[in-house]
Every structure is written in C-alpha cells, then in structure tokens.
C-alpha cells in the first residue's frame, strides 16, 4: 500500500482501524527515505533504530483499550534545531557536528507523550540563517518539483521531506519566513504560530524575539490538530503566552459568511511574477464566492520590514551565537596555543560564511557608537509595524496575500546573493516582526520567470493567510474553507 502524501487524519483512521501498524508505516517511510533522499538531501540524520522501537511501543499502546492520541504511531521529521535527547542535533553547522543533547525540547517531549515516531532530523540553512538551505554545512536540499531549484529555507529540509512524501509532516521553525516561504515553494501547507504560542525551550536560538516553532503538513485540518498538541504555556519559556489553547481542529469551520478578508496592496510588490499574482487573486475570488467580504487595506510600513529585520535579527544572532566558543560544547580545535586561539580558530572553522556575516553585522550594530543609531531606531520602527497591524485588524479578521513574490528559484541564486533571504522573505518579515500567526497553503501553479521547468503547469504558488495575535482559529478557518473549495493541496510531484 502507498502511504505517501496521505494526511494525518487519514493515517490516524488507518492505524485505528488496524489497516496498518505503526511499525509497517515507519518501515515504509524509512525505506522511502533510503531510496529517494540521496536526490533531495532533506535529512541530516535518520533515526532508524529509535524509530522502529518507538513504533513498536505505539503499536502496543494502540492495541490496549482506550482512545489513541492523534499522533500515536504516526511518523514525523524534525528540523535539526530541535534538541533531541541522545540524538545528534547539529543546526546544520560544523560547530555542532558532534553535539548530542542531554534533554528534549518541550515540543519534542509533547510529541513523545503522543507516542509519535521520529524518523530523523532535517536539513536547514546553518543556524537557520538563510532562505534556501544553501548555507547548510551538509549541502543544499532540493525542491520536490524540480531538483535544480531550492526548496526554500531555512526549513528547506522539512519542506522537502514533506513535499517529497518522505514524512507525513515535519517540525519547522520561523524567524522571518522560514516556514511560509519553503511551504509555498514546495507546494505544502505550513503554519507559523503567534510568537509565544509554542514553547522555544530546547530549540537552538536564532533571534529570540522572533523565533516561532511551527509545522508543515498536507492540509490545514492537520495543522489545526498539530497546533492543539504543540501550543501552550511553558514555565521553562517565559515568552510563552497565558492564553488558553483552543480546540482548533474541533472548532474549524468552512463558513466564511461574515468574515472580512483584507487584501494589503503593499504585499503585491514590484517585480512579483505575474503568475503568482494571478493565482493569488484567483484564490481571493474563491474566498469571496464562499461568502467572505473582501476589503482593500493598506500597510505602508511594510516596506520597512526587511530593513528592520536586517538590523534586529543579526543583533540577536550575534548574542545567541556567543555561546559557541569551542570550550563548552561543539567543535574545538586541537592545536590552539592559548585560550584566545581556541576561541578564534574554533569559531572560524565551525561557522559558515553566512553565520560569520550575521555575527559581525550584529556586533557592529550593538556596539557603543551605533546602538542608538541602528538597533534602537529599528525597534521603534518595529513598534510602528506592530501598531499598524493592530489597527488593520480592527477592520478585518484576516489578511490574504502571496506567500512569496516568485516560485522556486534555481539553486545557486541565493548562494551568489547575500541579500537573497531578505528579498525572498519580504512578504513574511513584517508579520514575523509583529508576532502574528500565519499560514501558507497551495493555491495553484505558475511558470517561473526564467521559463524553465520540467512541469507544463509550472511550480507551486503559496497563498498566505495572516491573523491577529493568538488568532490561530481565524486563519485555520479561512485556510480550511479554501481547501474545501479547491484541491491544490492534493497535488503532489511525481517522485
């Protein structure tokens, strides 16, 4: 039986009806990874032995009386930023190549409580610095629709794994677009939560005021289930919110009557591929037919989002990467003649070019003579962006716009352009700065501007749905309604 591209809801039903065991399901995906991932490089580490043991434990639980947790026995992949006890966690960086955490992140622990089965850890841009996975120390991942193109990033390994059918879902993280952008480019559904909705404890930090752990799957309904499981207050993460976690999946509704959807004109940026614009506007028409009221809105401070992010993110990165000194853990040189040389050589060998670039930029911005001129001013503009979103959400329930201005570019484009990430994520960064929840869901295909693609239909286009803080239910409802009306999320590459 072929289990690739089945939704979590479909897999849950098959497991509960004993049509397949967790061990059989796990072996199926492990075999698929073994046969296919050499072409896509979506995994850094495959945890075959642990996965089969956990699958056997899940089958024993399923055989016992009582209701099964939603994820019980279902395999998944985790971006290699999530600490996993006893399993190598690298952040796709040489400086952590041999790091084995002594503890699990909060999210991993919640999934263990569900008796879900970890297949392995996925590739990413080193320390999540990038939008293509091309900064990974283990080489780039490839797009499921065209192996000559990027899968996006930094969660490119997760999006490639799900998009290729190597895992039914994957954990991911986002700082400024790292869930929405790769989900869009790989033609899958991705959820970026409200900042503080999901615990960051045990996740290797990039930008502490921005990092948001989320998920990638095949449907919005699946993401709603995952949000229920992953979300909630964590005493080990003081930034998690106290708002109660709703029963997102149970309350999900396709009724859009009375729902106001805002279309921000600034998100249809100059240089956007015409095919992307066309597909997104087709999706807006579908939502209108379903009963939603479409309202044109303006977010003029959007244009400053990438500029603010280019200051705030490196500043937080320079602070967070200070702990990797060659002494406490991670890569250490063997020939340092004194402590300073151990520091400098270990960091020089362990960090890639992008990490070094961001460390230097952040350190410069935070230095005594420039803090007020750059970092402090950027935070003031960030507050303007937050306030602007808050005012718009007094007029509308959600915002709808493209997830990216283009379909997947070719490999090499990002590596040649240090500013690629800031441009690729320009439609995601403002919402991330404001800590807003968002989805990216498939809304069709478009031909790339370079005109080259192995598919006559083109490459996937993503529809972005943005909600107010802790407005997960609103975005799930709109995304679910769209997926009831269309079948774009059911389109998968011929692997």
Active-site residue numbers? 79, 154, 178
DSSP secondary structure code for residue 322 in this structure: G
Strands 438-446 and 459-466: antiparallel
E-strand ranges in 41-89 read 43-46, 75-79
**Cα four-point dihedral sign 200, 203, 209, 214:** negative
> Which residues touch 63 (CB under 8 Å, ≥6 apart)?
none
Residues 468 and 147: their CA atoms lie apart, in Å, by 36
Residues near 308 by beta carbon (within 8 Å), at least 6 away in sequence: 378, 381, 382, 385, 429, 433
- Triad 361, 362, 363: Cα angle to 5°: 95
Q: How many CB atoms lie within 10 A of CB 286?
A: 16
Check residue 351 and give left, alpha or beta (phi > 0: left; psi -120 to 50: alpha).
beta
Place of tokens 């406490």: 328
Gyration radius from the chain CA atoms: 21
Cα–Cα distance, 87 to 102 (Å, whole number): 9
Q: Is 2 exposed, middle or buried (0-12, 13-18, 19+ CB in 10 A)?
A: exposed
Other C-beta atoms closer than 10 Å to the C-beta of 89 total 24
Q: Report the DSSP pairing between strands 260-264 and 398-402.
A: parallel
Strand order in the sheet with 43-46: 43-46, 117-122, 75-79, 170-174, 212-217, 189-192, 438-446, 459-466, 398-402, 260-264, 293-297
Q: What does the H/E/C string look like for 396-437? A: CCEEEEECCCCCCCECCCCCCCCCHHHHHCCCCHHHHHCCCC
∠ Cα 13 15 20 (to 5°): 120
């Amino acid at each position: 039986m072929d289990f690739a591209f089945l939704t979590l809801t479909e897999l849950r039903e098959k497991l509960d009806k004993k049509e397949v065991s967790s061990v059989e399901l796990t072996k199926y995906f492990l075999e698929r990874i073994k046969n296919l991932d050499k072409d896509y490089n979506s995994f850094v580490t495959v945890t075959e032995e642990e996965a089969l043991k956990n699958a056997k434990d899940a089958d024993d639980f399923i055989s016992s009386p009582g209701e099964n947790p939603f994820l019980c026995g279902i395999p998944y992949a985790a971006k290699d930023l999530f600490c996993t006890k006893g399993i190598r966690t690298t952040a796709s960086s040489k400086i952590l190549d041999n790091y084995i955490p002594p503890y699990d992140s909060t999210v991993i622990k919640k999934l263990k409580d569900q008796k879900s089965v970890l297949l392995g850890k996925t590739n990413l841009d080193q320390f999540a610095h990038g939008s293509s996975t091309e900064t990974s120390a283990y080489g780039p991942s490839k797009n499921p629709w065209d192996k000559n193109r990027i899968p996006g990033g930094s969660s490119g390994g997760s999006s490639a794994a799900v998009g290729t059918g190597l895992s039914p879902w994957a954990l991911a993280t986002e700082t400024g677009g790292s869930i929405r952008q790769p989900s869009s480019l790989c033609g899958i559904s991705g959820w970026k939560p409200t900042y503080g909705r999901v615990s960051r404890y045990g996740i290797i930090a990039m930008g502490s005021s921005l990092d948001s752990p989320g998920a990638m799957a095949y449907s919005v309904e699946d993401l709603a289930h995952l949000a229920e499981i992953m979300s909630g207050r964590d005493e080990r993460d003081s930034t998690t919110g106290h708002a109660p976690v709703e029963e997102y999946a149970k309350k999900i509704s396709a009724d859009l009557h009375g729902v106001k959807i805002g279309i921000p004109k600034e998100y249809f940026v100059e240089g956007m591929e015409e095919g992307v614009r066309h597909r997104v506007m087709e999706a807006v028409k579908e939502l209108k037919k379903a009963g939603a009221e479409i309202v044109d809105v303006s977010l003029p401070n959007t244009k400053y989002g990438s500029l603010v992010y280019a200051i705030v993110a490196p500043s937080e990165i320079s602070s967070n990467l200070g702990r990797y000194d060659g002494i406490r853990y991670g890569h250490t040189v063997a020939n340092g003649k004194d402590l300073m040389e151990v520091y400098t050589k270990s960091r020089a060998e362990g960090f890639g070019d992008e990490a070094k670039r961001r460390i230097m930029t952040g350190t410069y911005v935070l230095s005594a003579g420039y803090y007020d001129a750059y970092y402090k001013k950027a935070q003031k503009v960030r507050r303007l962006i937050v306030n602007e979103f808050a005012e718009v959400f007094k007029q509308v329930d959600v915002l709808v716009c493209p997830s990216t201005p283009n379909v997947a570019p070719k490999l090499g484009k990002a590596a040649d352009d240090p500013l690629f990430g800031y441009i690729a994520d320009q439609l995601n960064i403002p919402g991330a700065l404001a800590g807003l929840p968002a989805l990216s869901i498939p809304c069709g295909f478009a031909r790339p501007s370079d005109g080259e693609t192995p598919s006559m239909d083109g490459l996937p286009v993503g529809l972005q749905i943005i909600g107010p803080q802790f407005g997960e239910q609103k975005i799930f409802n709109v995304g679910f309604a769209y997926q009831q009306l269309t079948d774009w999320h059911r389109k998968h590459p011929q692997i």
